[in-house]
Structure 1
Amino acid sequence: MPKFLIQASYTADGARGLLREGASGRRSAVEQTVAGLGGRVEAMYYAFGADDLVVIVDFPDSVSMAAAALTVKASGAVQTRATPLLTDDEIDEAAHRQVPFRAPGA
């Protein structure tokens, strides 16, 4: 299953919701959303600074990740960034593929 790193920042409304629900309430909601799309939460950590939340999830495909991201962003309570995570084997495979490319000006 493809793995993604999600970095999130709460808006003021989202932070107020977190204060009302607590961290365990939000984790439950995240797990329910991810599971509803056939995925699994591997890790979830709260932070402070540029990101309020960091989550690693497995989804069946990129479309499921996109569906979750669109729904969460549309709520207006959270801004998110999702980064696909690749294994050593996937990078090794990519490194061995022939890529037809010409650098600009070459």
Structure 2
Amino acid sequence: MQLVQLSDGSSYTVRTTSPNPLYRPAKDTRNTRLWQPSDEALSNSEDDEAGSLALFRQRYGRSFDAVSKKSGKSDGRMDADNFTELLQSYAPVGETTKPKVRAKPPPSTKPSKKKK
């Protein structure tokens, strides 16, 4: 038997072959955003402007940031994941390309060898 102690202090007993009498998981149903979606303390609020996140943004820009689509405002920049407009500018919708067909090789001009 093993006692499992959750992050909020509650515990329960399970049957197991583990030799440890007490198990304290780092992630459980009490401290995971998936199980507690309304808990604001578990939300990832990326306020690390002085640490490694700031260095990443300085090097690679802010295109990887999670964008909330609350309003339909556009600042003129193209969405990094939406390349539809870019692709349409290269190949307009009305044009179709012909598939390339492999040409047949020319007939052989070598004389055939006859056995005597």
Would the TM-score normalized by the shorter structure come out above 0.5? Answer: no
Higher RCO (CA 8 Å, separation ≥ 6 residues): 1
- TM-score of the aligned structures, taking structure 2 as reference length: 0.25
Q: Point out the structure with the larger strand share.
A: 1
Structure exhibiting the larger radius of gyration computed from Cα positions: 2
Give the TM-score of the pair, scaled to structure 1.
Answer: 0.26
Q: Where is the helix percentage greater, Structure 1 or Structure 2?
A: 1
